[in-house]
Amino acid sequence: MDPDASDEMVDHLVDFFDRVAPVYDTWAGGQHGRVATRLVDLATPSQNEQVLDVGTGTGLVANLVAPRVNPGLVIGVDLSENMLSIARANKAKNVQFVGMAAEHLVFRPATFDLVTMGQALAYEPQHPRPGPFLSGPRAARPPSLPQPSPLQLGALTVR
């Protein structure tokens, strides 16, 4: 893959999400909220867990996970500053939102008990070998991750 083309795609996606941020939560008839609720139900977060929400956007998943893990911490990462601005305005007490690329996470191994990725998985760059995009959540316990297929779009939880 041409790295320049990848950078252009990331810039395009960040620009797109910066523009739709104000209407994202209500866009598509509230579908994003329903998907976030379903993902959190499937992830079964538990009290005291440390959670990483990759591609957090407006913080839908992170804020739904927060009361279930309290007093544990939820960290949401995203590249869109406008999405993060909305997330920060509505954040739960035990949530932090950070501007960071999913493929360049800077957390120590075994930092998180649970890693969630809502609809951001649909925007995973296509790499020649599977896994580099998701290698950052190596910070999850245990350190092994399932490898998504190219057709797997939607939600992912890793324990």
- What are residue 97's DSSP bridge partners? 76
- 3-20 helix and 81-89 helix, angle to the nearest 10 degrees: 40
Q: Which domains does the chain have, with CATH numbers?
A: 3-158 (3.40.50.150)
* Of 78, 102, 80, nearest in space to 14 by CA: 80
Q: What is the pLDDT of residue 124?
A: 65
Q: What is the pLDDT along the chain (159 residues), one digit of tens a residue?
A: 344 457 888 899 999 999 999 999 998 888 889 989 999 999 999 999 999 999 999 999 999 999 999 999 999 999 999 999 999 999 999 999 999 988 888 898 889 999 998 877 666 665 444 444 444 444 555 434 444 333 333 445 555
Does the pTM exceed 0.85?
Answer: no
SS3 36: helix
